[in-house]
Amino acid sequence: MRVSTRVEYGLMALVDIAIHSENGESVSTTEIADRQKISQKYLEQILPQLRQAGLIKAQKGLRGGYRLGKPAEEVLLADVFNALDDSILAEMESPKEEADGALRGCINECLWEKINKNLLDFAKGKTLSEFLVECRNKSIQGWDLYVI
């Protein structure tokens, strides 16, 4: 499965914010862009979607930036995916087949519907907090690495 750079960078930015705002500090777009090697202009187009979904909060001013909008334990990966691209978890519509047992219908039912269900179940069952723990366990040299 391939996801858009919007989803990939949005998830990277959210994880970066979660990690670097654990002490209540805000994280600037410049800091995220530098650490994750993401274009700051592109990041500034993505972050408002996360903010509108309530996943992050913006703080203006000299020490402004972003922090999580709610505890990482309350954020599901499904929330993140839906905020950035609601088509990822959308159910694939099976084409109407005239003949029962047509190969296309069989493939849709036996493969694509199962893949979609597993992805949906995974995304609805994994919190940002759990995801952060997994990322930390995979990280060898620290959070300034690309870990996703």
pLDDT in tens, 47-72: 999 999 999 999 988 888 999 999 99
Instruction: With a cut of 50, say whether residue 104 has pLDDT above it.
Output: yes
* pLDDT score of 76: 96
**Residue 48, class by beta-carbon neighbours within 10 Å (0-12 exposed, 13-18 middle, 19+ buried)?**
exposed
* CB burial readout 73-84, b (16+ within 10 A) else e: eebbbbbbbbbb
pTM for this structure? 0.81
Per-residue confidence at 22, pLDDT binned at 50, 70, 90?
Answer: confident
Residues 93, 43: Cα–Cα separation, whole Å: 32
Instruction: With a cut of 80, say whether residue 107 has pLDDT above it.
Output: yes
Instruction: With a cut of 60, say whether residue 146 has pLDDT above it.
Output: no
Q: Which CATH class is domain 5-88+127-138?
A: mainly alpha
Top-confidence residue, 94 or 29: 29
* pLDDT score of 142: 53
Mean pLDDT of all residues in 110-117: 88
Q: Are 143 and 27 in contact (CB under 8 A)?
A: no
* pLDDT score of 99: 47
